[in-house]
Amino acid sequence: MRTVGVEEELLLVDPETGDPRAQSAAVLARAEHDDADQDVFEKELHEQMLEFATHPQSSMESLRAEIGRCRKEAARHAGDIGCTVAALATSPLPVSPSVGLNRRYQWMEEQYGIATREQLVMGCHVHVSVESDEEGVAVVDRMRPWLSVLAALSVNSPFWQGKDSGYNSYRSRVWQRWPSAGPTEIFGSAERYHRRVADMVATGTILDEGMIYFDARLSQRYPTVEIRVADVCLHADTAVLIATLARGLVETAARQWRAGEEPADHSVSLLRLAGWRAAQAGLTGELLHPATMRRMPAEAVVRSLLDHVADALADTGDLERAREACDRLLDGGTGAQVQRALLERTGSLRDVVTECARHTQG
């Protein structure tokens, strides 16, 4: 069974006002004194962000438990210095982000200017194990059309600088400002993938291979495919659903490759439109169906994704739980819908943030 790991980026906020707090260095210093958390939490681009990474898991129940534990530990360490964490993909309240003093981050600010300074966005990255780079690239090629559906399920960033953005995932629109971000063409082989990455680095436009921000890529550090389209999810159960479907997509794509099935030949232009529609609509309108690239109700497209990965999920025992989790999202609303409902009920973006901080810890 393929293992799965999840990286989540959390927003550090004042527990009373909801204002973002530039305290990541202090939180990380607290975590370093805890033996259990020394390899869990990491620095991120902005001082208002905190990232954690789970260990690889075969069981989705174990993954859910570890995400919950990491979120609670993040809140505990943050609480020691007077702040807390919120699983929000953008800050609903106005903020002037502080870029970290790390040499890498300073290079990015000098190179990309305001695009770096405004990148206070929090994502969820899913790592799924693969047997080789060749299998990994075959998977990346074949799962491309389905990634926008994962993005639509995860939407959790409707607000930007104190205003409604008009999107359900504005994070993804901000993320697209990076020169290497977004969907990819079909590579066809690991050799072509690595050659393309080397050519991109050789331009000097990006610093190194770590700045290859494809929607799905081969991990530098692990024998995994890393899927990077999701907002950080308000609820841990949604993050587990994204991870479950991601593993199903990887296994389904690998089976197609072994059976000699060619990837769908959708252009990058169409994939960008699918990503835009997922960001704008979430689950509240229409998405582009991955097979036809034509508009269909979001619920029908989600059902198509479940059908597409049904065999793989059935083999791991995850199919019924995935269906139930999708039903809950479709009925109860995504993180973006929850945030808008909280604003409608309370009239205060500060209350949205503080309530979402409570949601983050379950």
Structure tokens at 261: 């099935």
Pairing of strands 163-164, 49-53: unpaired
φ, ψ dihedrals at 237, nearest 5°:
-60, -35
pLDDT at 79: 96
Residue 38, pLDDT > 80, answer no
- The CA distance from 56 to 3, in Å, is 6
pLDDT at 128: 98
Mean pLDDT confidence for 50-64 = 97
Do the beta carbons of residue 264 and residue 291 sit within 8 Å?
yes
Pick the range with the lowest mean pLDDT from 27-41, 132-146, 245-259. Answer: 27-41
Here the CATH number for the domain that contains residue 25 is: 3.30.590.20
pLDDT confidence tier of residue 362, bands split at 50, 70 and 90? confident
pLDDT at 251: 98
pLDDT at 36: 64
Pick the range with the lowest mean pLDDT from 97-106, 136-145, 210-219, 324-333. Answer: 97-106
Residue 34, pLDDT > 90, answer no
C-alpha 265 chain-centroid distance: 25
Structure tokens at 283: 């689950």
pLDDT at 33: 79
Q: State whether the Cα torsion 334-335-338-343 is positive or negative.
A: negative
Mean pLDDT confidence for 280-306 = 98
pLDDT confidence tier of residue 37, bands split at 50, 70 and 90? low
Residue 109, pLDDT > 70, answer yes
Residue 235, pLDDT > 90, answer yes
| Predicted confidence (pLDDT) per residue in 64-84, tens digit | 999 999 999 999 999 999 999
- The CA distance from 151 to 153, in Å, is 5
**HEC readout, 327-338:** HHHHHHCCHHHH
Residue 312, pLDDT > 70, answer yes
**Greater model confidence, 205 or 34:** 205
pLDDT confidence tier of residue 275, bands split at 50, 70 and 90? very high
Mean pLDDT confidence for 248-261 = 98
Indicate the number of domains in the chain. Answer: 1
Residue 176, pLDDT > 80, answer yes
The domain of 72 spans 4-360
CA distances from 361 to 156, 332, 345 (A): 16, 18, 21
For residue 200, the tally of other CB atoms under 10 A from its CB is 17
Mean pLDDT (the chain, rounded): 96
Structure tokens at 304: 């198509």
Q: Which residues make beta-bridge pairs with 128?
A: 4, 225
Mean pLDDT confidence for 256-282 = 98
| Predicted confidence (pLDDT) per residue in 152-168, tens digit | 999 999 999 999 999 99
Mean pLDDT confidence for 307-317 = 98
For residue 319, the tally of other CB atoms under 10 A from its CB is 18
pLDDT at 101: 86
Mean pLDDT confidence for 52-71 = 97
Do the beta carbons of residue 295 and residue 288 sit within 8 Å?
yes
Q: Structure pTM?
A: 0.97
**Greater model confidence, 37 or 260:** 260
Q: What percent of the chain has pLDDT over 90?
A: 95
| Predicted confidence (pLDDT) per residue in 89-106, tens digit | 999 999 999 999 889 999
CA distances from 236 to 171, 222, 325, 359 (A): 18, 23, 11, 9
Q: What percent of the chain has pLDDT over 70?
A: 99
